[in-house]
Every structure is written in C-alpha cells, then in structure tokens.
A and B are shown apart, each in its own frame.
Chain A
Amino acid sequence: MAGALLEVTGLSKRFGGFVALDGIDLNVAAGERVGLIGPNGSGKSTLVNCICGTLVNESGSVRFDGETVDGLLTHERTRRGMARSFQLPRPFTTLTVADNLRVPLLYTVNARPGHALSPSELDARCAELLQLVALADKARHLPRDLTQVEMRKLELARAMAAEPKLLIADESMAGLSQSEVDDIVGLLIRLNERGITIILIEHIMRAVMKFSQRLIVLVSGKKIADGVPDAVIRDPEVERAYLGQ
C-alpha cells in the first residue's frame, strides 16, 4: 500500500524452538483505526514488542512513516512518533501522575527538532492531557492511589503525551466494566479524530467492533484474516480459531 504509515513485511520472531510470529505482513494507513485480535498466545503482544523495538525480530522489517526503523532502539522509535501503552499498566511509581506525563514531554517532544517546551508550557501540557483523560484532580497523587481504570487512562495519557503519529493500545480495557470500556473506546475515537492512527489490541469484542474500521486476526503467530470487521468475524477460519470445530 503506498503511503502507509506502518508497513510490516515478513516479520518473524522465535523464542528458542517456539515460533511466536511467522512471516507477518501488515499495513496501516495514516488516520486508520485498526483492531488486532487473536486468542491468547497468538503473538499479539510479541508483534507489538517487535514493532516498538522492545524485542528484536529475526527476520522481516518494519517501516514507519516512510523509513525503515529496523535496528533502532525503542526510545528512538518513540521519538519518530510511535507510542504504545502496556497491557499491564507500568506507571513510574515514584513520580506523581502529572510527572508521569512530563517524562515523555521532556524526552520525546522536546527531543524532536524544533521548538522545545518551556517549563510553564510543560505544566500546561500536563494539565491539558490530564483533563483529556479526566485525571486532573489526581495530578499530584502517586500512581498507587489510582483505580484500575484511572491507571489505564494514565497509561494512555502517557503514550499520548509523546505526540505520536501511531498509538498502539495493548489491551487497555481488560478487566474493566462495560461503562468503563465505553469510556476508553470513546477516548480512543476522540484521539483518532485528532489525526492519530490507532492500533487497538483487545479481547472485548464489543469494544473492538465499535472501534475498528479494519480488523486483523492473528492465530498461532500467523495472520489469518485482514479486512472489514463484519466480514472478518464471519470468516470460517476465524470462527474455527475462536470457537473450535
């Protein structure tokens, strides 16, 4: 696909004798909302880790924004506009909620060429982001004072603070109630409307169907479907993977 924001070609990753990812090809266009699903252990998180540089893939390559990012460290990819949230929230536990957001602002936004934010602009930006995820009244608290939903919102806000072009949300809704899930889906769609491309990895089908414009299915490290969500979930192969025969 020409003009794709993210192009993954032939990506493979093995852990010892276990093939976690087997020749994955996928493209994500700028501005798209893509859902990525698959049973447990199908390689979704491994794929995210390879795309973001946390893990090194043995073969295949990742191109982002027209340039290959193979061999770049995670922080370099983040600076180029790739941000992620973690499946289990990983806040900086000794920093306040506001300072958690200050880190990507200082190290990613200010590290890019161009205008660096002044201390007062940094404060304003932190407040703005906290407002966006409705955490403004917790700004001076430590992450341990947050509830699960708030923790996941902080995780997303921290990824957002890096002003990414592409946001990969790795199971940011697991274990949340229906209304909380709707809350986060609404937030993600609002972010997308601001021009951010989003890949959503999720088990909660209601959220995935509501969110995705396109759905990709991974099973045992292979991509078995890629297309319009309604058509993909009716695909017999996908049904077999999820429900068995």
Chain B
Amino acid sequence: MRTRVFLLLLIAVAIVVFFAARLVSNDYVFFAGYTVLQFVVLATAWNILGGYTGYVNFGSAAFFALGAYATVFMHKLYPLPLPLLIVIGAAVSGIVGLGMGYLTLRLRGAFFAIATLALAVVLQTLVVNWDFVGGSRGAYIIRPNEIALIGPYIQYLFLLMLALAVIALAIARGIERSQLGYGFATIRDDELAAEASGVPTLRLKLIATTLSGALMGMAGAPFPYYIGYLQPSSAFGLEYAVNSIAMPMIGGTTSWVGPLIGAILLGSLQQIATVTISSAVNLLIVGLLLVGFVIIAPNGIVGLVQGWIRGAK
C-alpha cells in the first residue's frame, strides 16, 4: 500500500471515529478518547526511537511536559490558536530531542536510558523554579466553552488529537517503508556493521531523537487546554514515561501497528479502571501487563500474531 493511500485511509478512519463519538450524546467519550489518542501519539513517538533504533527513552514525560509548558509560556506571552501552539510545542521538544541526542548518543543501552531519565529530572526542576510558567504552584488556562463550527471545546481538542494521531502514525509507517527505516533497523541490530555498510549512524540517531521528541511535544501542547490547570507533577507524571514505554512493548515494537494496539488497549483499560475501580489502579494494571508480556510475549501482540500466522502455514 502506498503511503498516500494509507494516509487517506487513516483520515477516513479518523473521520468515522469522530462522528461515531458524536453519536454518543455524552462529552465523557471525548474526554476519555482524548487521553487514549494522546497515548497513541506518545507511544508511536517513543517507538520511533525505542522500537526502530533500539534506544530506550525513559524521559518521555519531559518531552510531553515541554510541549505543555511551551503552550503555557505562549499563552502568557501572546494568545495564539491551538494548532499554532502545537507546532511551537513540537519545535521546542524537537530541539531538545536533538540536543539530548548530541549529548547522549554515544551512550548505549541502560546508560542511555539513565541519561534520558536524568534529563526529565533536570527539566522538571527547572520548571518548578520558573515562576513565569507558574513554578510549583502551577498555571491556570481558562479554555473557552464553545468553538465555532464544532461546538463544545472538548470535541475540538479531541479532533486535534485525532489529527495528531493520524500524523504520527503516517510518519511512523512512512519511516518503516523507507530508506530511513532500513537505516534505523541496522542501528538497532548492529551499529558497527551499520557503519561498515555506509549507514551514517550518528546522523540517523539524531533524526530519530528529534522526530520522536517533536511528536511527544505535539502530544503535550494541547494538554493545558485539556486539563485547565497544569502543575509540574502532572505534566512530568510517571504515567507518561511508563505508558509510552509499556504501550509499544505490549503492542509490539517492530511496526507502527504495535504502539497503536498497545495504546488503544492499555489506554482504554486505564480509562475504564479509573471510572469503575479507582484512578490509582492505572499504573498497577500497566505494570502487571508489562511483566506478563515480557515473559509470555516479548515481541508484543504483533509478534504473537505473526508467530501464529507463521505456525499456521
């Protein structure tokens, strides 16, 4: 399937999802759906670096929070329309992603993961002490109730996140089928052999960190409008770091479908658990599932299905 056809198909699915959600006359569907879609974007973004090139990023929350705080910053400076804020969030997180790449990509494996975790801690400390964006008190963003053409503002946010999910998935799938995808795979498999085959590994790694960071920033940019009150501990929350690793792992890291399946599955499960049991159960579910999958299906759901297909032949 050509990339353009795939993109059109994704857009069609997104439109169907949006209007199906409107059929349910309850705004909660949009609130819950927004969170699930946000995780689709985050998981897909994580997978570009973690799944394709094999560099495990524990600092996803930092990139997400950067996007969110870029919005808060701009909101205080000069109110801009949300799509523009998303672009700004992507730029900020992308640049930080590039910087992180330069500083850390000579590290491998666990050392890279630790460095990304450290980046998250450093950035959170900076934000906590930066008064302009609210510091540790947090920042309020009063969002309008309605927006022209669409109606309730939450539906607008949902629609934006849906568009971001489409963009993220199209990018991920595009990479998989391109020269870049082959290059990323060689970095995951063997960097020395990759260099010897002419792959400029450092440059490709920087592309991956930048792209992955930018997409996470995009996911974070509308967040202040969604939540209304942003504080460092919610933006840098552990759940973002954990979920954006767990979702691709559970879905499968080798293709764009994996993070999508993982995010929809885990994201929905968490929403259901929040409403029916308690919000504290969220991370417990993720943790247990992750442990289970690492033991039973290390290649995730996608790997499991591929195994069945191969076995059936």
Contact = CB atoms under 8 A, between A and B. Distances in A.
Do A and B assemble together? yes
Interface of A: 52-54, 73-75, 78-79, 83-84, 86, 90-95, 99, 102-104, 106-108, 110-111, 158-159, 161-162
Q: Looking at A90, A91, A92, which has the most chain B CB atoms within 10 Å of its CB?
A: A92
16 contacts: A52-B196, A54-B195, A74-B195, A75-B194, A75-B196, A75-B201, A78-B198, A90-B192, A94-B185, A95-B182, A107-B197, A107-B198, A108-B197, A158-B193, A158-B197, A162-B198
A78 to B, nearest CB: 4
A94 B194 contact: no
Q: Which 10 A-B pairs have the closest CB atoms?
A: A108-B198, A74-B195, A107-B198, A90-B193, A92-B189, A104-B197, A78-B198, A90-B190, A107-B199, A106-B179
Contacts of B183: 103, 106-107
Nearest to B254: A94
Given A75-B197, A92-B194, A110-B179, 10 more contacts: A54-B192, A54-B195, A75-B198, A78-B195, A78-B197, A91-B190, A94-B254, A95-B182, A106-B183, A107-B197
B224 to A, nearest CB: 39
B212 interface: no
A167 B25 CA distance: 69
A114 to B, nearest CB: 15
Contacts of A99: 182
A53 B201 CA distance: 14
Contacts of B188: 94
A89 to B, nearest CB: 9
Interface of B: 179, 182-183, 185-186, 188-190, 192-202, 254
Task: Give chain B's interface secondary structure class.
Answer: helix
Given A94-B254, A99-B182, A74 B189 contact: no
Contact of A78 (B182, B185, B186, B196): B196
Contacts of B194: 75, 92, 103
Given A90-B190, A95-B186, A107 B196 contact: no
Q: Looking at B185, B189, B190, B201, which has the most chain A CB atoms within 10 Å of its CB?
A: B189
A75 B199 contact: yes
A110 B186 CA distance: 17
Contacts of B186: 92, 95, 103
Contacts of A52: 196
Contact of A104 (B198, B200, B254): B198
Contacts of A107: 179, 182-183, 197-200
A78 B190 CA distance: 16
A130 B182 CA distance: 19
A92 B179 contact: no
Q: Looking at A83, A90, A107, which has the most chain B CB atoms within 10 Å of its CB?
A: A107
A93 B194 CA distance: 12
A109 B186 CA distance: 17
Contacts of B192: 54, 74, 86, 90
A93 B182 contact: no
Nearest to B202: A73
B94 to A, nearest CB: 24
Contacts of A84: 196
